[in-house]
Amino acid sequence: MRRTARAIIHYDALVHNFNRVRQLAPDSRIIAVIKADAYGHGMIQAAKTLQQADGFAVACIKEAIALREAGIQQPVTVFQGFQTAEQLQQAIKFQLRPVIHQAHQIELLEQNSEGHLSVWFKVDTGMGRLGIRPDDVNDLWQRLQQCSCIDDVGLMSHFANADDPEHDVNRRQIDYFRQLSRRFNVETSMSNSAAIISFPDMQGDWVRPGIMLYGSSPLLGKTAEELGLKPVMQLESEIIAINYLKKGDTIGYGSQWVCPEDMPVGVVAIGYGDGYPRHAASGTPVYLNQQRTQIIGRVSMDMITIDLRPLDQVTVGDPVELWGEHVSVDEVATSAGTIGYELLCQVSACRLV
Ligand SMILES: *Cc1c(COP(=O)(O)O)cnc(C)c1O
């Protein structure tokens, strides 16, 4: 039996957003980032839909192997690279492109005498997460060049604040990355979704869009619609009950929402067990019967309650959009004190896709 809560994936919108990246970065090759099950949209299906991508990127070797086993032939970047000799062997066998971000990986490459692979040399220009620290760059770059199993090496880094173009750290990251690109003179990759838009002159040889492909805005203060992006995921459920509460009645756990008048309240079959955020506050928009209304009271595990005062003629079984075409995932994220990324990823963890 079909579950009432469901995530519908609009693959045409995924292609639309990919083409939007092409417009924004016409001179770069595009690595479509499909880690975390394509941000909750289904990794294999997303990869098959984005046939035109020049490459894909995932977080770990296991995801990359799943892509190869599904017949995906493009270059596959592995952001976390390999941690063990066994994983290095897998990277070679499946012709993956791992990220080299620490000395330990270079030791494994030095000990390896068979096979070939291309890699990314990732420098920490200011993100402070994965990446070779500036003090070690020269030494490790030299050692990497001497590894007999290495084909191409690209230079990569990652912005910490591309969503906020005015942030000071951006300038430092850009200056340092430019300096390294001039010194090493290899192909480069620096830009995630936000940077593709904020810093067009940093697009380099390969751009790495993730969130924008799924139609969520990568920039603070700009909506996805303003950026020409279309929502890919439509999260829906249905009204399962309509209650008529009296003035002064309270709704849900904690009894925090108090009815200001006699009013109709809809119960919708979706909750945090389905990936809808528990922290979505009263006032978070939902859409049904061609109108927006809002959630009232706390989100439960399998249910939410919504204000039906603005609507006439609601019946049990009416579909409700939690996010998608009429309510952006970014609005819901803001109401829940988080980001669209988290909400989208949460849905595949709940197996709605
Ligand atoms: C996730 C990730 C991306 C994609 O970022 P978006 O903000 O989703 O565009 C790019 N590069 C790296 C290294 C990442 O981890």
- SS3 per residue for 264-331: EEEEECCCHHHCCCCCCCCCCEEEECCEEEEECCCCCCCCEEEECCCCCCCCCCCEEEEECCCCCHHH
Binned average pLDDT, 10 residues per bin, the chain of 353 residues? 85 98 98 97 97 98 98 98 98 98 98 95 97 98 96 98 96 98 97 98 98 97 97 97 98 97 98 96 97 98 97 95 98 98 88 70
Out of 18, 20, 33, give the residue to mutate to test ligand 1, the one with the largest number of ligand atoms within 8 Å of its CB.
33
- Tokens linked to 61: 């070797």
* List of residues 6+ apart from 15 with CB closer than 8 A: 49, 50
Cα(13)–Cα(56) distance, rounded to whole angstroms?
A: 18
Q: Which residue's CA is the closest to the ligand 1 atom numbered 15?
A: 79
Domain 11-214 classified CATH 3.40.50.1580? Answer: no
Going from N- to C-terminal start, the domains of the chain cover 11-214, 233-352
Does the beta carbon of 209 lie inside 6 Å of ligand 1? yes
What integer pLDDT is reported at residue 283 of this predicted model? 98
Check pocket membership of 20 for ligand 1, CB cut-off 6 A.
no
Per the annotation, the verdict on 35 as an active-site residue is yes
Structure confidence at residue 353 (pLDDT): 67
Give the pLDDT of residue 1. 55
Active-site choice (62, 246, 253, 272): 253
Homologous superfamily assigned to 233-352: Lyase, Ornithine Decarboxylase; Chain A, domain 1 (2.40.37.10)
Smallest CA-to-CA distance from 234 within 51, 3, 44, 6 is with 6
At 247, list the tokens: 């003035």
Is residue 257 within 8 Å of residue 269, measured between CB atoms?
A: no
The catalytic position among 35, 122, 272, 287 is 35
How far is ligand 1, taken at its centre, from the CA of residue 183, in Å?
Answer: 25
Supply the pLDDT for residue 348. 75
Q: Does ligand 1 have an atom closer than 6 angstroms to the CB of 323? A: no
Asked if residues 32 and 18 have their Cβ atoms less than 8 Å apart, the reply is: yes
Quick one: pLDDT at residue 192?
98
* Centre of ligand 1 from the C-alpha of residue 133, in Å: 19
User: What tokens appear for 165 in the block?
Assistant: 């173009």
Q: Hey, what amino acid is at 333?
A: A
